[in-house]
RNA sequence: GUGGGCGUAGUUCAGUUGGUUAGAAUAUCGGAUUGUGAUUCCGAGGGUCGUGGGUUCGAAUCCCAUCGCCCACCCCA
């Protein structure tokens, strides 16, 4: 095993059966994004390391211990494989003045990299769809993005996700609350467990998530962020809630909902599920009004969310909503040199009509070719042998009908003149409602 | 980074207190009237038992190390 070549831990190959599901989902996602006016943007997977440090925050887990950072050995530049998409997107928006003239709705999809221990729903290379809106002060975009994500679950037939929202207020409000939190916990330091001690100064909000029953009472009486929000922040949050409520979307306000990245302010939301093991978040995001300016751009309000593709696919799989493997429309069987040449031309002419055609390659007995044809799932086979070549005809056989009689070679098949083949197949298609392409 | 579980044909798995040449199902290939697919019957190929070392007359089995996968903690999509 020591010599064996294999993929890097936590970075998975996506093999054909699975990759077809990915493409199917990606198509659905693009249609969904387009229906909300979002336009594609594509950024590099590698960015200068300081971008992420400045955007995500120096003391976050991502920056401290999860980034794939390295120095370009050719010019000494510090680079990082993107651990999330927003920073690069904001960088691109600033660099090219994308949102200078009018607000922009943008999306991207692609791989992200975080050096974490892999487990169910968590990988070192994973894929996200990022949805970002620049130049809208909200709260209507906030609400629209929430409705938008709700529609996606509906489109995909998923009903086991629920919505949680919260407001983080403005940075000053959050800082005041954080200070109050630390003061409170310091006053009760004797009641803090080891975990909480560690988080006290790194991430005091996380202490609220403790599962330790001994700390529940302490945690319940903690200063509430909501009490530190100013009138504007509260009004924004109220408005988002009322818009979402009016759209008929159920949610709970979770005062403990914090995002792991520093740039968020005001609205944050998260779609969670119990169906995925320990990794319950399928989609999460919020407002980040300060980030563009913080990264050197002109002050621009922004709001966005990310969707985990692996987790979404896992949910779809769980619900049995993934499409079946794709089959060709026609499988072409042939035997003999003359037939091989003719069959190749027939295959091309059928593709001219828009059909997906599998031409048998590699020879083999007639029987084995029939087996391949059956195995391919194609509803029809075209058979070309010496007889057909001699008479200028081909045999068309319906494959999905299993009611054939032993020993009767003529089961479910007809001979058709070469010139009539395309027309014959098309009419069979409409009569029998075969395939998905018509 | 910490903990737990697991590594045996392409795949899913058996494999007794350590004892002949490591099995099954499934998949693949071939055959059962040489031009006909499901099902059925017959046959074949396919394994450095993750890897390396140790104990033993003898190791898939016991011990040590190592690599890998999975799940959980932490954190997050």
* Structure token pair of residue A200: 């006290």
Q: Which residue did the predictor score with more confidence, A189 or A387? A: A387
Average pLDDT score over chain A: 89
Find the mean pLDDT for residues A23-46: 97
Task: Find the Å distance, CA of residue A373 to C1' of nucleotide B37.
Answer: 7
pLDDT at A83 over 80: yes
pLDDT band for A384, please (50, 70, 90 cuts). very high
User: CA A308, A20, A153: angle at the middle one, nearest 5?
Assistant: 40
Give A109-166 pLDDT, tens digit per residue: 999 999 999 999 999 999 999 999 999 998 999 999 999 999 999 999 999 999 999 9
What is the pLDDT at residue A2? Answer: 40
The span from the CA of A369 to the CA of A331, in Å, is: 9
The spacing between the Cα labelled CA in A182 and the C1' in B53, in angstroms, equals 54
Element (H, E) at A108: strand A104-113
What DSSP character marks residue A386?
Answer: H
Contact A56, A87 (CB under 8 A): yes
Three-state SS sequence of A40-58: ECCCCCEEEHHHHHHHHCC
Write the DSSP string, A360-376. Answer: --S---HHHHHHHHHHH
Nearest nucleotide, C1' to the C-alpha of A374?
B37
Measured in angstroms, what separates residue A8's CA from nucleotide B69's C1'? 12
The 10 Å Cβ neighbour count of residue A7 is 9
Nearest nt to the CA of A408 via C1' is B36
Of all protein residues, which has its CA closest to the C1' atom of B77?
A: A308
Cα→Cα distances A177→A172, A183, A271, A425, Å: 9, 10, 25, 71
Measuring from the CA of residue A370 to each C1' atom, give the nucleotide at the shortest distance: B37
Q: Which of the nucleotides lies closest to A206 (Cα–C1')?
A: B75
For range A209-234, the mean pLDDT: 83
- pLDDT value of position A268: 95
Specify the higher pLDDT residue, A32 or A212. Answer: A32
Separation between Cα atoms, residue A81 and residue A49, nearest integer Å: 8
Q: For the whole model, what pTM was predicted?
A: 0.91
Question: For chain B, which bases have at least one atom within 7 A of a protein Cβ?
Answer: 1-3, 7, 28-31, 33-38, 50-51, 67-77
Residue A42: the pLDDT is 97
Quick one: residue A286, left, alpha or beta (phi over 0 = left, psi -120 to 50 = alpha)? left
Q: Which pLDDT value is given to residue A68?
A: 94
Contacts of A357 (CB under 8 A, 6+ apart): A328, A329, A330, A331, A332, A347, A350, A351
A4 pLDDT above the threshold of 90: no
ipTM of the complex: 0.87
**pLDDT tens column, A198-211:** 777 777 777 777 76
Highest mean pLDDT among A32-46, A327-341, A419-433: A32-46
Alpha-carbon span A290 to A260, nearest angstrom: 16
Dihedral of the CA atoms A349, A351, A356, A361 (nearest 10)? 50
CA→C1' distance for A371 and B46 (Å)? 21
């Amino acid at each position: 095993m020591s010599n064996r070549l294999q993929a890097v831990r936590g970075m998975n190959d996506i093999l054909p059966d699975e990759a077809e599901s990915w493409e199917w989902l990606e198509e659905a996602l693009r249609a969904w994004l387009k229906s909300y006016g979002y336009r594609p943007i594509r950024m590099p997977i590698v960015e200068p390391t300081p971008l992420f440090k400045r955007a995500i925050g120096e003391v976050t887990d991502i920056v401290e211990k999860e980034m794939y950072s390295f120095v370009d050995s050719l010019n000494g530049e510090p680079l990082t494989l993107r651990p999330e998409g927003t920073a690069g997107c904001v960088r691109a928006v600033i660099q090219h003045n994308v949102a200078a003239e009018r607000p922009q709705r943008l999306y991207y999809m692609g791989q992200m990299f975080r050096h974490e221990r892999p487990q169910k729903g968590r990988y070192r290379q994973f894929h996200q769809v990022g949805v970002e809106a620049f130049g809208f002060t909200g709260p209507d975009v906030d609400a629209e993005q929430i409705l938008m994500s709700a529609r996606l679950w509906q489109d995909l037939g998923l009903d086991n996700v629920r919505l949680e929202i919260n407001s983080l207020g403005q940075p000053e409000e959050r800082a005041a609350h954080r200070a109050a939190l630390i003061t409170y916990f310091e006053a009760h330091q004797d009641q803090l467990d080891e975990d909480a001690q560690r988080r006290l100064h790194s991430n005091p909000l996380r202490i609220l998530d403790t599962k330790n029953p001994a700390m529940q009472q302490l945690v319940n009486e903690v200063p509430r962020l909501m009490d530190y929000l100013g009138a504007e922040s509260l009004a924004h949050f109220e408005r988002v809630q009322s818009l979402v409520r009016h759209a008929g979307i159920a949610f709970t306000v979770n005062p403990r909902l914090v995002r792991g990245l520093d740039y968020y302010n005001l609205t944050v939301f998260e779609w969670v599920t119990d169906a995925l093991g320990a990794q319950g978040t399928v989609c999460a995001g919020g407002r980040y009004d300060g980030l563009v300016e913080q990264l050197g751009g002109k002050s621009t309000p922004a709001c966005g969310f990310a969707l985990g593709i692996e987790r979404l696919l896992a949910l779809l799989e769980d619900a049995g909503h993934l499409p079946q493997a794709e089959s060709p429309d026609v499988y072409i069987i042939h035997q003999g040199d003359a037939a091989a040449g003719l069959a190749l031309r027939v295959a091309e002419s059928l593709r001219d009509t828009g059909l997906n055609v599998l031409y048998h390659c590699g020879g083999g007995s007639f029987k084995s070719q029939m087996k391949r044809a059956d195995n391919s799932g194609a509803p029809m086979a075209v058979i070309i042998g010496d007889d057909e070549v001699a008479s200028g005809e081909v045999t068309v056989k319906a494959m999905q009908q299993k009611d054939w009689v032993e020993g009767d070679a003529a089961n479910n098949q007809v001979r058709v003149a070469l010139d009539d083949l395309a027309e014959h197949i098309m009419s069979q298609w409409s009569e029998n409602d075969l395939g998905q392409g018509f």
